[in-house]
């Protein structure tokens, strides 16, 4: 089949089974078709889903979810959440994904949709070529159970209670909303997003228990357990799915609750790169840390995107931006931030102070990757002394971003 024998079309609600069939095969979940259809149904937005068609069948699919993410200084801000990208095994490396990406990103630009796209990548090498930058990392902590806290950790007076899912949901949703309003990187969640994130089908459990819920007035945790035994005794595992605490006492109480579950050897919790967890422990080494790439972002319309967040300090620079895949972003832009952190981005013809790419600005967008670090890697080039330092400071947020929801 020649590369130009493909056509691109929007999907409809009737395409859900065939869409899911492509996803099931692409993600090697051949035995879980019914579960995947059920999972996809919770979030499917057919009007924002795209198929690449060959011989009347879907050779590749992808969709955009209407989502939001907390950005510095502005709270929840709309983003297009790109997900369910898959290409049939016998149509790979013929440009099907490239067609999907072009349809999505050019379509968002032309329709004036969200100025930012975001995704989690199955493989880290895929999306840079389409202008995505790595905006957040996350840390998987593996903590030895029963590890004591440092003296003086304040647990407060409120108890952590284990409750059934039905009782938990109305308690945890307002806590999450409060958290997501202010924690940079946190995704806003609607009904379908909750259903998808808390799916309890066998393939989501991966051999572990159904979700358990523990609540505190200012926090909650949803987690799974797996029993196990070693020659040294009980060696079960707790794997946290979703954990939010809005006060230090709730944070410490919930961690203590998890660490003290009997018959458990290890507790696994994902957190941001500045997760305070190890600061609670008498032996910080009891928490092993593994770092992974998290949320990738794409500035679809660079000028609107850069104005959608607040900045930490005033700056006035001319940026020379490279962007092959979305050429309307390429060229010179004057980027000014006034003293209240509000940005203005306008076309400019002056000599540039800094050269960069829109992918690297996306990496810096949430304050997760410093502009100065990108410069140290040779990905941002300074032409006017001091401008990298000024930009770098302006892009920082109070804390590094944390996005812990794979969608
Ligand atoms: C947001 C999400 O949903 S992430 C999930 C992505 N999906 C998966 O991982 C499921 C399994 N994989 C697949 O379905 C496919 O292999 C895809 C979607 C990753 C790639 O689809 P393809 O149609 O083969 O990609 P396409 O032919 O357009 O390739 C475009 C470029 O990306 C490169 N590329 C594609 N896949 C990969 C990969 N996995 N790793 C590194 N490079 C890749 C190609 O080599 C090509 O490079 P070039 O422009 O230099 O020639």
- Six-digit token string for 71: 């950005």
- Residue 316 Cα to ligand 1 midpoint, Å, equals 38
96 is in an annotated binding site: yes
Q: Which of 26, 27, 100, 126 to mutate to test the pocket of ligand 1 (most atoms within 8 A of CB)?
A: 126
Q: Which of 62, 79, 93, 128 to mutate to test the pocket of ligand 1 (most atoms within 8 A of CB)?
A: 93
Q: Which of 27, 92, 298 to mutate to test the pocket of ligand 1 (most atoms within 8 A of CB)?
A: 92
ipTM of the complex: 0.98
Give the confidence band of 203 by pLDDT, cuts at 50, 70, 90. Answer: confident
Are the C-beta atoms of residues 141 and 240 closer than 8 Å to each other? no
CA–CA gap between residue 306 and residue 253 (Å, rounded): 38
Ligand 1 lined by 80 (C-beta under 6 Å): no
Say what the pTM is. Answer: 0.97
**pLDDT tens digits, one per residue of 285-304:** 999 999 999 999 999 999 99
- Residue 204 Cα to ligand 1 midpoint, Å, equals 24
Question: Within 127-272, where are the H helices?
Answer: 165-182, 191-197, 202-205, 248-259
Residue 283 has phi, psi (to 5 degrees) of -120, 95
Q: Provide the pLDDT for residue 309.
A: 98
Ligand 1 lined by 84 (C-beta under 6 Å): yes
Indicate the pairing of strand 315-322 with strand 354-357: parallel
134 is in an annotated binding site: no
97 is in an annotated binding site: yes
What integer is the mean pLDDT of 146-173? Answer: 98
Ligand 1 lined by 86 (C-beta under 6 Å): yes
Query: Between these two residues, 244 and 29, which has the higher pLDDT value?
Result: 244
202 pLDDT more than 90:
no
Ligand 1 lined by 107 (C-beta under 6 Å): no
Does residue 6 have an active-site annotation?
no
31 pLDDT more than 90:
no
Q: Out of 32-36, 89-93, 171-175, which region has the weakest mean confidence (pLDDT)?
A: 32-36
> Which residue in 127, 130, 138, 220 is the catalytic one?
127
Atom of ligand 1 nearest to the CA of 125: 41
* Nearest CA among 193, 136, 152, 128 for reference residue 281: 152
Does residue 251 have an active-site annotation?
no
Q: What's the alpha-carbon Rg for the chain, to the nearest Å?
A: 23
14: Cβ contacts below 8 Å, ≥ 6 apart = none
Ligand 1 lined by 123 (C-beta under 6 Å): yes
- Residue 62 Cα to ligand 1 midpoint, Å, equals 12
Ligand 1 lined by 92 (C-beta under 6 Å): yes
Half-sphere exposure at residue 186, Cβ-oriented, CA atoms within 13 angstroms: 21
- The CA dihedral of 318, 324, 327, 333, to the nearest 10 degrees, is 0
86 is in an annotated binding site: yes
Q: Provide the pLDDT for residue 1.
A: 65
Q: Provide the pLDDT for residue 2.
A: 67
Burial of 307 (0-12, 13-18, 19+ CB in 10 A): middle
Ligand 1 lined by 121 (C-beta under 6 Å): yes
Half-sphere exposure at residue 242, Cβ-oriented, CA atoms within 13 angstroms: 29
- Tokens 């670090």 found at: 373
What integer is the mean pLDDT of 374-388? Answer: 98
Are the C-beta atoms of residues 275 and 141 closer than 8 Å to each other? yes
3 pLDDT more than 80:
no
72: Cβ contacts below 8 Å, ≥ 6 apart = 184, 309, 310, 311, 312, 366, 367, 397, 398
**pLDDT tens digits, one per residue of 223-275:** 999 999 999 999 999 999 999 999 999 999 999 999 999 999 999 999 999 99
- Residue 132 Cα to ligand 1 midpoint, Å, equals 14
Ligand 1 lined by 26 (C-beta under 6 Å): yes
Q: Provide the pLDDT for residue 386.
A: 98
- The CA dihedral of 82, 346, 357, 76, to the nearest 10 degrees, is -30
- Residue 64 Cα to ligand 1 midpoint, Å, equals 17
355: Cβ contacts below 8 Å, ≥ 6 apart = 319, 320, 321, 322, 380, 381, 383
Instruction: Give the domains, in start order, of the chain with CATH numbers.
Output: 3-114 (3.40.630.30), 138-292 (3.40.630.30), 296-395 (3.30.1050.10)
């Amino acid at each position: 089949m020649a590369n130009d024998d493909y056509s691109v079309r929007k999907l409809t609600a009737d395409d859900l089974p065939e869409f899911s069939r492509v996803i099931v095969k692409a993600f090697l979940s051949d035995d879980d078709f019914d579960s995947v259809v059920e999972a996809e149904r919770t979030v499917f937005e057919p009007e924002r889903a795209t198929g690449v068609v060959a011989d009347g069948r879907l050779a590749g699919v992808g969709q955009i979810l209407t989502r939001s993410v907390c950005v510095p200084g502005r709270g929840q801000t709309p983003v297009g959440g790109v997900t369910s990208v898959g290409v049939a095994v016998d149509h790979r490396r013929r440009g099907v994904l490239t067609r999907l990406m072009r349809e999505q990103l050019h379509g968002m630009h032309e329709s004036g949709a969200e100025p930012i796209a975001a995704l989690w990548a199955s493989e880290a090498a895929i999306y840079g070529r389409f202008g995505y930058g790595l905006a957040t990392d996350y840390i998987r902590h593996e903590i030895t159970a029963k590890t004591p806290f440092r003296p003086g950790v304040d647990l407060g007076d409120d108890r952590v209670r284990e409750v059934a899912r039905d009782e938990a949901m109305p308690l945890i949703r307002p806590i999450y909303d409060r958290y997501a309003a202010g924690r940079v990187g946190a995704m806003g969640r609607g009904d379908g997003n909750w259903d998808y994130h808390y799916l309890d089908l066998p393939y989501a459990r991966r051999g572990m228990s159904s979700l358990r819920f523990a609540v505190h007035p200012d926090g909650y945790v949803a987690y799974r357990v797996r029993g196990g035994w070693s020659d040294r005794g009980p060696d079960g595992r707790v794997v946290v799915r979703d954990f939010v605490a809005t006060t230090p006492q709730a944070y410490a109480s919930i961690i203590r609750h998890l660490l003290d579950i009997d018959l458990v050897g290890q507790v696994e919790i994902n957190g941001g790169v500045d997760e305070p967890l190890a600061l609670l422990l008498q032996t910080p080494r009891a928490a092993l840390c593994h770092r992974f790439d998290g949320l990738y972002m794409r500035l679809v319309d660079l000028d609107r995107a850069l104005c959608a967040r607040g900045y930490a300090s005033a700056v006035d620079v001319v940026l020379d931006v490279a962007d092959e895949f979305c050429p309307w972003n390429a060229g010179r832009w004057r980027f000014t931030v006034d003293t209240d952190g509000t940005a203005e981005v306008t076309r400019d013809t002056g000599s540039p102070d800094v050269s960069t790419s829109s992918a690297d600005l996306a990496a810096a967008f949430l304050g997760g990757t410093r502009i100065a670090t990108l410069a140290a890697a040779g990905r941002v080039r300074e032409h006017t002394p001091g401008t990298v330092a000024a930009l770098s400071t302006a892009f920082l947020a109070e804390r590094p971003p944390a996005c812990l929801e794979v969608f």
